[in-house]
């Protein structure tokens, strides 16, 4: 349906934008004029067909971690199509045509939580990393005699936990390096969550809304640690908070310490709310990588939705930085989704290679690419 025009939200689109939000996310209940549905760190996009707004999406201006680098990342949320316009390609047009628009705005990456992964996979998005949800019976939580004393942090002092969060984020690719607006949103804004911390400066913290009911489950919204002592201390705190609960539930990254060291009978571990990523700007993303060793390789990337990415790229890397230029004889061919996974590091390039997604043309160049695309765990604690 190429006659759908995808563009950035304009003031004249306000009613149509709100109507889509109402029909898709609010059971048809109208959005009040005084309700803010586009926060100041967000950009709106709409799809227009014959003068009617038929689709819409919100993009959060985020920053994704990648080793020592930070990449501007479009967090795509609230994607919606009018119910009567579905199954006509309108949603696909929105996602496909937003890709070059986001790149033009300076975003190197995009991320989203898919309603259907197969749908977004057609437009270059790929699962990266995994988030474990751990549900542990209260009596199965470990206890450590050397645990740090916990204290509750007043909401106004939330900046004390930022260094701990940033140290945690440096270990993972894809973490959102939050702005003040995003911190305020994550911690509950006008109805703040409780924040418990250990250590001074903070070595670990837990964010939750305490449930006053007895013998129900207690969910922890955010659990972050900068070292092992802090991690064990928060587990001890959860044991205390869970004394009148049936279970405690929280999330950990794919390298979960709990799964590796404290797993026990009766504990349920599942993969929870997988996130998908997509490279929007190949040279901008890859040139952010710095490696101690040097090398070069050439590859062809297939990206049907962004001609600026599609084609052959030469990569030269080393301690002084990475140079990405057009041209050369490709050592391998790879789709934009698999390239995104290799770039972020989970699944690793080696894993992607073993599954046959890159078509290998020259083995020598692939060896250099294996050194460039280092494995890393991917994690994101922001839901949108």
Q: State the Cα–Cα distance between residues 42 and 324, nearest whole angstrom.
A: 30
Residues of the chain with pLDDT under 50: none
Give the residue extent of every domain in the chain: 5-112, 132-271, 281-372
pLDDT recorded at residue 274: 93
Q: Read off the pTM.
A: 0.96
188: CB partners within 8 A, 6+ apart: 155, 209
Q: Which residues pair with 111 in a beta bridge?
A: 75, 277
CATH of 132-271, one of 3.30.70.20, 3.40.640.10, 3.40.50.1820, 3.40.630.30: 3.40.630.30
pLDDT of residue 1: 57
The second-level CATH assignment, the architecture, of 5-112 is 3-Layer(aba) Sandwich (3.40)
Provide φ and ψ at 315, rounded to 5°. Answer: -120, 125
Identify the bridge partners of residue 132 per DSSP, sorted by sequence position.
252, 271
In angstroms, the CA 54 to CA 184 distance is 32
The model's pLDDT over 273-327, given as tens digits with 9 standing for 90+, comes to 999 999 999 999 999 999 999 999 999 999 999 999 999 999 999 999 999 999 9
281-372: which CATH topology? Nonspecific Lipid-transfer Protein; Chain A (3.30.1050)
Assign residue 282 a region (left: φ > 0; alpha: ψ between -120 and 50; beta: otherwise).
Answer: alpha
What's the confidence (pLDDT) of residue 171? Answer: 96
Sequence length of the chain is 384
User: Are 254 and 130 within 8 A, CB to CB?
Assistant: yes
Distance CA 313, CA 284 (A): 12
Torsion of CA 320, 337, 183, 78, to 10 degrees: 150
Pairing of the two strands 69-81 and 109-112? parallel
Strands of the 247-252 sheet, one edge to the other: 150-153, 194-198, 204-208, 217-225, 247-252, 132-137, 268-271
CB-based contact 135:263 (threshold 8 Å) = no
d(CA 233, CA 196) in angstroms, rounded, equals 11
Topology alike, domains 5-112 and 281-372: no
Q: What is the 3-state secondary structure (H, E, C) of the chain?
A: CCCCEEEECCHHHHHHHHHHHHHHHCCCCCCCCCCCCCCCCEEEEEEEECCEEEEEEEEEEEEEEECCEEEEEEEEEEEEECHHHCCCCHHHHHHHHHHHHHHHCCCCEEEECCCCHHHHHCCCCEECCCCEEEEEEHHHCCCCCCCCCEEEECHHHHHHHHHHHHHHHCCCECCECCCHHHHHHHCCCCCCCEEEEECCCCCEEEEECCCCCCCCEEEEEEEEECCHHHHHHHHHHHHHHCCCCCEEEEEECCCCHHHHHHCCCCCEEEECCCCEEEECCHHHHHCCCCCCCCEEEEEEEECCCCCCCCEEEEEEEECCEEEEEECCCCCEEEEHHHHHHHHHCCCCHHHHHHCCCCEECCHHHHHHHHHHCCCCCECCCCCC
What's the burial of 178, exposed, middle or buried (CB within 10 Å: 0-12/13-18/19+)? buried
Taking the C-alpha atoms of residue 235 and residue 263, their distance in angstroms, rounded to an integer, is: 13
């Amino acid at each position: 349906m190429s006659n759908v025009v995808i563009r950035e939200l304009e003031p004249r689109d306000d009613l149509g934008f709100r109507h889509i939000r109402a029909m898709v996310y609010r059971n048809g209940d109208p959005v009040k004029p005084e309700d803010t549905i586009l926060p100041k760190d967000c950009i709106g996009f709409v799809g227009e067909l014959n003068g009617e707004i038929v689709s819409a999406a919100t993009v959060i201006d985020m920053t994704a971690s990648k080793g020592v680098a930070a990449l501007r990342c479009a967090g795509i949320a609230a994607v919606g199509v009018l119910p009567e316009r579905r199954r006509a390609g309108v949603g696909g047009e929105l996602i496909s045509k937003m890709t070059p628009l986001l790149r033009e705005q300076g975003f190197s990456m995009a991320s989203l939580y898919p309603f259907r992964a197969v749908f977004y996979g057609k437009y270059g998005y790929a699962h990266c990393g995994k988030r474990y949800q751990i549900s542990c019976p209260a009596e199965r939580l470990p206890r450590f005699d050397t645990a740090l004393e916990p204290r509750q942090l007043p909401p106004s002092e939330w900046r004390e936990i930022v260094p701990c969060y940033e140290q945690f984020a440096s270990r993972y690719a894809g973490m959102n390096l939050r702005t003040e607006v995003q911190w305020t949103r994550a911690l509950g804004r006008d109805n703040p969550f409780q924040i418990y911390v250990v250590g001074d400066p903070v070595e670990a913290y837990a964010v939750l809304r305490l449930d006053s009911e007895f013998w129900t489950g207690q969910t922890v919204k955010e659990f972050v640690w900068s070292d092992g002592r802090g991690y064990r201390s928060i587990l001890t705190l959860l044991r205390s908070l869970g004394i009148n609960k049936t279970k405690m539930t929280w999330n950990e990254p794919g390298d979960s310490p709990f799964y590796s060291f404290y797993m026990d009978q009766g504990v349920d571990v599942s993969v929870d709310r997988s996130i998908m990523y997509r490279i929007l700007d190949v040279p901008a993303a890859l040139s952010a990588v710095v490696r101690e060793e040097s090398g070069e390789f050439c590859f062809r990337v297939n990206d049907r939705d962004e001609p600026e990415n599609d084609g052959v790229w030469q990569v030269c890397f080393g301690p002084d930085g990475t140079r990405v230029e057009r041209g050369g004889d490709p050592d391998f061919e790879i789709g934009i989704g698999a390239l995104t996974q290799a770039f972020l590091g989970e699944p690793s390039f080696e894993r992607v290679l073993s599954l046959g997604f890159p078509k290998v043309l020259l083995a020598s160049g692939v060896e250099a690419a294996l050194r460039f695309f280092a494995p890393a765990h991917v994690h994101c604690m922001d839901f949108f």
